[in-house]
Amino acid sequence: MSNEIDFAAAAAKLKLETRAFIDGKYVPAASGRTFATVNPATGKVITEVAAGDDEDVNRAVAAARRAFEAGSWSKMHPRDRKKVLLRFADLIEKHQDELALIEVLDCGKPISDARAVDLPDSIETLRWHAELADKLHDQTTQTPADVVSLIVREPIGVVGAVIPWNFPIFVAMWKLAPALAGGNSIVLKPAEQTSLSLIRMAALASEAGIPDGVFNVVPGLGHEAGKAIGLHGDVDCVSFTGSGEVGRYFLEYSAKSNLKKVVLECGGKSPALVMRDVQDLAPVVQQIAIGILFCQGENCSAGSRLIVEEPIRDQLLEALKAEFANWTVGNPFAAATRVGAMIEARHLDKVTGLIAKGAAEGGKITFGGKRILEESGGYFVQPTIIENVRNDMTIAREEVFGPVLSVISVKDEAEALKVANDTPYGLAASLYTDNLNVAHRMAKALRAGTVSVNCFSEGDFAMPFGGYKESGFGGKDKGLAAHDQYLEQKSIWIQLR
Ligand SMILES: NC(=O)C1=CN([C@@H]2O[C@H](COP(=O)(O)OP(=O)(O)OC[C@H]3O[C@@H](n4cnc5c(N)ncnc54)[C@H](O)[C@@H]3O)[C@@H](O)[C@H]2O)C=CC1
Ligand code: BAL
């Protein structure tokens, strides 16, 4: 497939599975209800998806628990689990064109992103965690001669994974890969906007040899299926990515039910800081643009606040506007498209509403700022730059989750850090400087879970990812740290006789 017509035509021919996947089988929702899933680039209904609720979650959790207790996965030799997960990765790779098309259809993200980032990174993430299945050793401690101590790690049990719509397969993989590698059973709830790719992936998990009941997918609405997972007394851990509002619900659900472990990744308002010493602005503007425009800004770590030292502000903004002009917005199936559609009409309204508020509170829109391509029926927003932003304005405080960059000028490094850290969030920050001392000093001072220097990056799958402050709670995705979320630690103290 090499051109736009191929991608669109191939997407039109997809045979989409829309049912839940419970105990190794596709099944309709127990209630028989469905909900519509919409193509964000056309506003048209793609298909109807099973609307799982309490009953479906109960069935999925029961299947997950049965499988866990039976031990066909949880007690399998870790080396064999590794082989199955590597087969799962191979199958995803074999079907990656199809999965990328589904992702684009349901998410409105550019096909170039889905093919170059979402799918390959998901596959590599799965492989990396699979490889760890037989390499994470237990520990011992120094003891008296007549004692043996063991610190062993055991799978936590049934893991609920509640997934957002911006990176359905990718974020799901951040959770599934370490959880499965550790021997857990999973009940996964995709975001209602983007259920299709994860429903499809369930069949590949089964084909790879993951036993029935270990990998379940229950599509459904947040306040039904999501809430049912959160409140379920037999779910041991929930790993969630999404809004802070819903993250807080999961803490409440846990408190009201079985005190299940809760791990939250709740977005951000990440700064991109540009220091006056930067000599070559060309690579910097590219990275700033990627930071805010990749995935049309629907990215938890999006660099949405540009904090720039006054002496280089005008030069930087001029170059940045030229760079923004290169980011083609439109049909996500077109190979040249770099900015797709906002996920849904409600989100489009949120993004355009925040842009308007930014202007009303004193910001100056100097690039973009409007909904475009309305005739397509899709939810497209222009890449947007708002200047003269103060850090106390709504546009600088709320997560926009769109292609909207707020520009805040500062006098010096101290003010840059003060503004960067003056946010309830703390997910990520990127920093541009040619001075190694400035880089180290500021990287240490930034209150964020990930700091990238001279690039916009979350780091690869080996790097832990999660936020400080209201951006994160309870653990990290990715890296070795991700395994801790899904493993209990047991101390065994043996008195020798
Ligand atoms: N990666 C991130 O950091 C993400 C951040 N967001 C932020 O959240 C804002 C709103 O987007 P939404 O789709 O409304 O995100 P959301 O937080 O409502 O949705 C995320 C997941 O939570 C589930 N959910 C929703 N309500 C629930 C409830 N009451 N109980 C249990 N589960 C529930 C959803 O079905 C979905 O699977 C966005 O504008 C963006 O600012 C949204 C998605 C991802
Ligand atoms: N940046 C990938 C994860 C997320 O946006 O939720």
Residues 159 and 292 placed together within one structural domain of the fold: no
450, 368, 108, 459: CA torsion to nearest 10: -20
Residues 338 and 244 placed together within one structural domain of the fold: no
How far does residue 32's CA lie from ligand 2's centre (Å)?
32
CB 161 within 8 A of CB 189: yes
Q: Identify whether 497 is part of a domain.
A: no
Gyration radius from the chain CA atoms: 23
ipTM for the whole complex = 0.97
Percent of the chain with pLDDT over 90: 98
Task: Read off the CATH number of the domain in which 373 is found.
Answer: 3.40.309.10
Query: Which residues in the chain come in under a pLDDT of 70?
Result: 1-5
| Nearest Cα residue to 407 out of 427, 392, 424, 385 | 385
Q: What pLDDT score does 7 carry?
A: 85
- The residue whose CA has the least distance to atom 14 of ligand 1 is 243
pLDDT tens for 189-230 read 999 999 999 999 999 999 999 999 999 999 999 999 999 999
Residues 71 and 168 placed together within one structural domain of the fold: yes
How far does residue 299's CA lie from ligand 2's centre (Å)?
5
How far does residue 242's CA lie from ligand 1's centre (Å)?
4
Q: Identify whether 466 is part of a domain.
A: no
Q: Among the atoms of ligand 1, which is closest to the Cα of residue 246? A: 17
Residues 185 and 138 placed together within one structural domain of the fold: yes
Residues 70 and 111 placed together within one structural domain of the fold: yes
Q: What is the three-class DSSP state of 339?
A: strand
Q: How far apart are CA 283 and CA 417, in angstroms?
A: 22
CB 476 within 8 A of CB 464: yes
Q: Identify whether 140 is part of a domain.
A: yes
CB of 299 within 6 A of ligand 2: the answer is yes
pLDDT tens for 339-392 read 999 999 999 999 999 999 999 999 999 999 999 999 999 999 999 999 999 999
Q: How far apart are CA 200 and CA 408, in angstroms?
A: 44
CB of 164 within 6 A of ligand 2: the answer is yes
Residues 400 and 483 placed together within one structural domain of the fold: no
How far does residue 399's CA lie from ligand 2's centre (Å)?
13
Q: How far apart are CA 359 and CA 337, in angstroms?
A: 28
DSSP letter string, 413-472: HHHHHHHHH-SS--SEEEEE-S-HHHHHHHHHH--SSEEEESS-----TTS-B--SGGGE
The number of the ligand nearest the C-alpha atom of 243 reads 1
Q: Identify whether 395 is part of a domain.
A: yes
Q: What pLDDT score does 59 carry?
A: 98
β 404-410/371-372 pair status: unpaired
CB-defined site of ligand 1, < 6 Å: 162-166, 189, 191-192, 222-223, 226-227, 230, 241-243, 246, 249, 266-267, 300, 347, 350, 399, 401
Q: What pLDDT score does 1 carry?
A: 45
Mutation to probe ligand 2, out of 163, 166, 477 (largest number of atoms < 8 A from CB) = 166
CA atoms within 13 A on the CB side of 442: 31
How far does residue 410's CA lie from ligand 2's centre (Å)?
28
- Is position 265 annotated as part of the catalytic site? yes
CB 266 within 8 A of CB 250: no
Residues 259 and 333 placed together within one structural domain of the fold: no
CB 365 within 8 A of CB 359: yes
- The residue whose CA has the least distance to atom 26 of ligand 1 is 222
Reported pTM: 0.97
User: What DSSP designation does 332 have?
Assistant: T
DSSP letter string, 210-267: PPTTTEEE----IIIIIHHHHH-TT--EEEEES-HHHHHHHHHHHHHTT--EEEEE--
Mutation to probe ligand 2, out of 174, 301, 450, 465 (largest number of atoms < 8 A from CB) = 301
Q: Among the atoms of ligand 2, which is closest to the Cα of residue 241? A: 6
Residues 229 and 301 placed together within one structural domain of the fold: no
Residues 116 and 227 placed together within one structural domain of the fold: yes
List the domain range (segments joined by +) for residue 31: 4-266+471-491
Q: Among the atoms of ligand 2, which is closest to the Cα of residue 164? A: 6
Dihedral (CA of 334, 337, 343, 349) sign? negative
Task: Read off the CATH number of the domain in which 251 is found.
Answer: 3.40.605.10
Dihedral (CA of 354, 359, 362, 364) sign? positive
Options 192, 224, 265, 344, the catalytic residue: 265
Mutation to probe ligand 1, out of 170, 239, 246 (largest number of atoms < 8 A from CB) = 246
Residues 70 and 149 placed together within one structural domain of the fold: yes
Residues 409 and 365 placed together within one structural domain of the fold: yes
Q: What pLDDT score does 6 carry?
A: 78
How far does residue 247's CA lie from ligand 1's centre (Å)?
8
Please tell me the total count of domains within the chain. 2
Q: Identify whether 463 is part of a domain.
A: no
CB of 485 within 6 A of ligand 2: the answer is no
**Residue 77, exposed/middle/buried by CB under 10 A (0-12, 13-18, 19+)?**
exposed
Q: Identify whether 104 is part of a domain.
A: yes
